[in-house]
Amino acid sequence: MRIWWQDIFTEEVPFTDRSPVLWEGMLRALLKVRPEGMELDCGRLDKSSPLNWYPYLEMLNDVYIVKGVMEAAARGYEAAVIGCSCDPAVVEARGMVDIPVIGLLESSLAVAGMLGRKAAVVTVWDGYVPIIERRIKLYGYGDKVLGQRPVRHFPLDWGELIEAFSGRPEALIQRFEEVARDCIADGADVVIVGCAYAGPAFTLAGYNRVTGTEVPVVDCAAAGLQMAAALVTLEKTCGLKKSRHPFSLYGRAPRKRAEAILQEFGLAGFPR
């Protein structure tokens, strides 16, 4: 199966001058967790907003995420995974293509619900907290996460992230666990890594449980890739596809009218 990983930034990540190390580490991690037989390709955006926790600037970023997913579908990829734990543009992209579009947060919540009773999400920026909380409510997982402050954060040090991808994850793990242990004290028995870069860094390090506990740590990227494989397999074996009913969030827009609207806004039309 052919799967497209759509990142949310350009080739040069705005928060570090060591983007090649980040991308090389990400690729190693994704190849480690992909199911056997999966052909995986990764793409970056033509333009991106580094301030993607502000709603309007996030919306601008989402335009290019959907564009990347539409292009991937036109090139024959069987599913697309959006590489961010905030699940940006997941709903919007699902409505524009027929292939499955996978959100890392949604996938992680589904996995966490089968691993434990109450999950918490530990993300890497305070601005992501309300975004992820809103998504949890949209997906209907409110009863499967902590009742109070189900989403918490630590300030990501990009230098520590690069160090983790370079084989020295101790500082990043320590920073994550300072928050994860508070979640456990408040009742969480599963902790989701709310970052599409930190999760893979932990997987490369073999880190999958909070130290000294039996609490699993869910790599959102691994959950997303496995969910993509599952949905592609279900479509091939059972014909199972997303709902296109008018009540669905993923209704199919009339192609010609949608094409005209895209052009009216100065955006490229449907890829051929």
Secondary structure of the chain as H, E, C letters: CEEEEECCCCCCCCCCCCHHHHHHHHHHHHHHHCCCCCEEEEECCCCCCCCCCCHHHHHHHHHHHHHHHHHHHHCCCCEEEECCCCCCCHHHHHHHCCCCEEEHHHHHHHHHHHHCCCEEEEECCCCHHHHHHHHHHHHCCHHHECCCCCEEECCCCHHHHHHHHCCCCHHHHHHHHHHHHHHHHCCCCEEEEECCCHHHHHHHCCCCECCCCCCEEEEHHHHHHHHHHHHHHHHHHHCCCCCCCCCCCCCCCCHHHHHHHHHHCCCCCCCC
CB atoms within 10 A of CB 17: 11
CB atoms within 10 A of CB 243: 11
Residues of the chain with pLDDT under 50: none
Say if CB 232 and CB 1 are below 8 A apart. yes
Contacts of 260 (CB under 8 A, 6+ apart): none
Give the fold, CATH level 3, of 2-103+223-264. Rossmann fold (3.40.50)
What's the pLDDT score for residue 14? 81
What's the pLDDT score for residue 160? 97
- In angstroms, the CA 220 to CA 109 distance is 9
Residue with tokens 């296109």: 244
Every domain range in the chain assigned CATH 3.40.50.12500:
2-103+223-264, 106-220
Structure tokens at 242: 């997303």
What's the pLDDT score for residue 63? 94
What's the pLDDT score for residue 107? 99
- In angstroms, the CA 89 to CA 131 distance is 12
Say if CB 38 and CB 182 are below 8 A apart. no
Say if CB 168 and CB 137 are below 8 A apart. no
What's the pLDDT score for residue 152? 99
Query: In the CATH scheme, what architecture does the domain 106-220 have?
Result: 3-Layer(aba) Sandwich (3.40)
